[in-house]
């Protein structure tokens, strides 16, 4: 490719609204421009194609067959299986920037192993950082790298290295119905007009950790069934409604309205409590640890104090339904976890029906492209590895008006272009402009043909990543030489 043919031109004027350094570099270099839409231009497409090639060559080697689906789903494929003898089946479909693949087998599955190998390769040769395997549920894992863009937050334990999505349910136990004994120390206190947790805490001079919030939800299930439940969580926390939905196996949960709340609690909003409530109770397990808890009394202007949750509250399901925070304890080793912001690169889900395993994998090509760019850059531009660079070398004739320099540059170009993508900068620009563009694009090697060539017949090779340069005779430049670097 000739530099004069590259479209769009590099620019150092970037539009307002680009937030991250990587976005700015991609814009400046012309690899990816954002406006009304996102457009990958020729050199950006080359990077995307290289990422695709890594994945597709790996799965095709394992006999995955290409299909096209408008809305990727394994459900239609399932219906075609009339006989187990046709198994295993392997398919993949490429939609926009996502690659989907399915494995249906009654034998040993292999998709998860293939995915790990693909991610290991992308990590080693492209992103140069470890990825996180984030448990979303027992059936689903999300793979993520930390990222400046951080559109996917998850919990990570530095102790045991386990990671969990914010919707992961770390605990769930159905509680056998039991007869509650009367707790003599529990007292009803007058709390006039005190409806919120902060008001309650300041009125009773206690911490929100001592209080229990009772929230009434309307729950919808798949079979048109609906019910109302009470969800309990410490006053210092919010309920994660996605977790609540999953605990119940519901399709929708929504807070009850004022009328419904009054109907179930016989009191105004703000005084609902779990004791004496005739509803299924889903409790976050943290409430069990509260000594002398405070709850609503289901009576206007009253709360109950000195409640012992384990003894006094009829709990149907004890589980994890709270919204997580940085520092929450790890469900495995109990050490404080941290919230990491990352980008999702892949997802793996598995399910089993009768004897058949259904596995699916989803790989996000756009996020991989972004992360390869984000993790390989400096203030001057991008720094691609040869495996993911749009081209391997950038030939810079210092002066295109000098015939012998231009001819030598063309000779190198003709020699290498048969094997790899390269750029020759045939523009009548200053050497400084050419160096800057090569650095911005992140091309691994610059081949500089200048005065040294005129005097001694030598050209300079400069590595983008290290900035190191060395000289070599023109005749010694060939593809074997670059392969050996
Ligand atoms: Zn841990």
Q: Where are the domains of the chain?
A: 3-166+339-377, 174-319, 391-483
| Nearest Cα residue to 357 out of 167, 147, 78, 168 | 78
Q: 206-254: per-residue pLDDT in tens?
A: 999 999 999 999 999 999 999 999 999 999 999 999 999 999 999 999 9
Distance 237 CA to ligand 1 centre (A): 22
Average pLDDT of the segment spanning 66-90: 92
* DSSP conformation class of 269: T
Mean per-residue pLDDT for 79-103?
A: 94
The residues pairing with 228 across neighbouring beta strands, listed in sequence order, are 218
- Residue among 207, 191, 203 nearest 304 (CA): 191
For 169-186, the pLDDT digits (tens) are 999 999 998 777 777 889
Q: What is the mean pLDDT of residues 99-127?
A: 97
Measured in angstroms, how far is the CA atom of residue 341 from the centroid of ligand 1? 18
SS3 443: coil
Ligand 1 centroid to 331 CA: how many Å?
A: 7
SS3 (DSSP) at 102: strand
- pLDDT number for residue 45: 97
Ligand 1 centroid to Cα of residue 327, in Å, is 11
**Per-residue model confidence (pLDDT) at position 219:** 98
Thinking of the domain 174-319, which architecture would CATH place it in?
Answer: Alpha-Beta Complex (3.90)
Rounded to the nearest angstrom, the distance between the alpha carbon of 236 and the centre of ligand 1 is: 23
CA angle in degrees (0–180, nearest 5) for 366-370-375 = 150
CA–centroid distance, residue 170 to ligand 1 (Å): 12
How many CB atoms neighbour CB 216 within 10 A?
21
Q: Which helix (H) or strand (E) holds 413?
A: helix 403-417
Distances (CA, A) of 321 to 265, 274, 316, 416: 22, 16, 14, 60
Q: How far is the CA of 131 from the centre of ligand 1 (A)?
A: 17
Centroid of ligand 1 to alpha carbon of 287 (angstroms): 22
- Band (pLDDT 50/70/90 cuts) for residue 422 is very high
Rounded-to-integer distance, Cα 391 and Cα 385, Å? 10
CA of 241 from ligand 1 middle (Å) equals 24
CA of 337 to the centre of ligand 1 (A): 7
Asked if the 391-483 domain carries CATH number 1.10.579.10, the reply is no
Mark out the alpha helices in 216-268 (DSSP H runs): 241-248, 258-265
Note the pLDDT of residue 96. Answer: 85
CA distance 135 to 127: 21
Instruction: Give 482's pLDDT tier (boundaries 50, 70, 90).
Output: confident
CATH for 3-166+339-377 (1.10.10.10, 3.40.50.12160, 3.90.850.10, 3.30.930.10): 3.30.930.10
Domains 174-319 and 391-483 share a fold: no
**160 alpha carbon, distance to own chain's centre:** 20
Q: At residue 407, does pLDDT exceed 90? A: yes
Secondary structure class of 346 (helix, strand, coil) = strand
How far, in Å, is the centroid of ligand 1 from the Cα of 146? 18
Cα of 158 to ligand 1 centre, how many Å?
A: 7
Residue keyed to tokens 């150092």 = 12
Q: Give me the residues near ligand 1 (ion), CB cutoff below 5 Å.
A: 157, 159-160, 330, 332-333
> Would you say residue 140 has pLDDT above 80?
yes
Distance 135 CA to ligand 1 centre (A): 13
CA 116 to ligand 1 centroid distance, Å: 22
- pLDDT per position as a tens digit, 262-277: 999 999 989 999 999 9
Q: Ligand 1: distance of its center to the CA of 140 in Å?
A: 19
pLDDT given at position 147: 97
Residue 201 CB contacts under 8 Å (≥ 6 apart), including other chains: 207, 208, 210, 211, 235
Expressed in angstroms and rounded, the spacing between residue 165 Cα and the centre of ligand 1 is 14
How far does residue 209's CA lie from ligand 1's centre (Å)? 23
Question: What value does the mean pLDDT of the chain take?
Answer: 95
C-beta of residue 296 within 8 angstroms of C-beta of residue 270:
yes
| DSSP code of residue 127 | I
| pLDDT for the residue numbered 35 | 85
Query: What is the average pLDDT across 443-468?
Result: 96
Q: Considering only CA atoms, which of 35, 28, 23 is closest in space to residue 13? A: 28
CA distance 429 to 41: 22
């Amino acid at each position: 490719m000739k530099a004069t043919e590259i479209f769009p031109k590099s620019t150092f004027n970037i539009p307002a609204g680009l937030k991250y350094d990587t976005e700015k570099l991609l814009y400046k270099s012309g690899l990816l421009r954002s406006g009304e839409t996102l457009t990958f231009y020729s050199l950006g497409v080359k990077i995307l194609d290289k990422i695709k090639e890594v994945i597709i060559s790996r799965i095709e080697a394992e006999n995955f067959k290409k299909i096209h689906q408008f809305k990727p789903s394994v459900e239609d494929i399932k219906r075609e299986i009339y006989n187990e003898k046709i198994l295993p089946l392997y398919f993949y479909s490429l939609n926009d920037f996502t690659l989907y693949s399915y494995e249906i087998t009654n034998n040993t599955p292999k998709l998860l192993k293939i995915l790990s190998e693909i991610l290991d390769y992308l990590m080693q040769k492209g992103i140069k950082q470890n990825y996180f395997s984030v448990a979303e549920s027992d059936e689903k894992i999300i793979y993520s790298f930390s990222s400046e863009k951080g559109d996917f937050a998850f919990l990570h334990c530095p102790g045991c290295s386990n990671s969990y999505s914010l919707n992961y349910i770390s605990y769930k136990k159905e509680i056998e119905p039991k007869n509650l004994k009367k707790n003599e120390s529990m007292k009803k206190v007058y709390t006039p007009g005190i409806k919120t947790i902060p008001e309650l805490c300041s009125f009773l001079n206690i911490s929100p950790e001592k209080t229990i919030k009772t929230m009434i939800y309307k729950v919808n299930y798949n079979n048109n069934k609906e019910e109302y439940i009470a969800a309990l969580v410490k006053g210092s926390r919010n309920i994660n409604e996605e977790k609540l939905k999953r605990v119940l196996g519901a399709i929708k949960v929504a807070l009850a309205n004022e009328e419904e709340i009054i109907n179930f609690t016989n009191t105004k909003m703000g005084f609902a409590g779990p004791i004496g409530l005739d509803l299924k109770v889903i409790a976050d397990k943290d409430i069990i640890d509260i000594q002398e808890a405070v709850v609503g009394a289901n009576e206007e202007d009253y709360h109950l104090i000195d409640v012992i949750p384990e003894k006094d509250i009829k709990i149907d399901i004890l589980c994890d339904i709270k919204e997580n925070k940085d520092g929450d304890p790890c469900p495995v080793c109990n050490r404080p976890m941290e919230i990491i912001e990352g980008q999702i690169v892949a997802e793996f889900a598995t399910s089993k029906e009768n004897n058949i395993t259904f596995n699916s994998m989803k790989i996000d090509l756009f996020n991989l492209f972004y992360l390869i760019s984000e993790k390989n850059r400096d203030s001057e531009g991008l720094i691609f590895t040869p495996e993911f660079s749009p081209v391997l070398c950038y030939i810079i004739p210092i002066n295109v008006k000098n015939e012998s320099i231009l001819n030598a540059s063309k000779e190198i170009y003709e020699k290498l272009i048969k094997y790899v993508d390269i750029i020759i900068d045939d523009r009548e620009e200053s050497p400084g402009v050419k160096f800057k563009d090569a650095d911005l694009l992140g091309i691994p090697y610059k081949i500089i043909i200048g005065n040294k060539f005129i005097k001694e017949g030598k050209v300079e090779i400069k590595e983008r990543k290290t900035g190191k340069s060395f000289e070599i005779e023109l005749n010694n430049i060939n593809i074997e030489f670059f392969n050996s670097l």
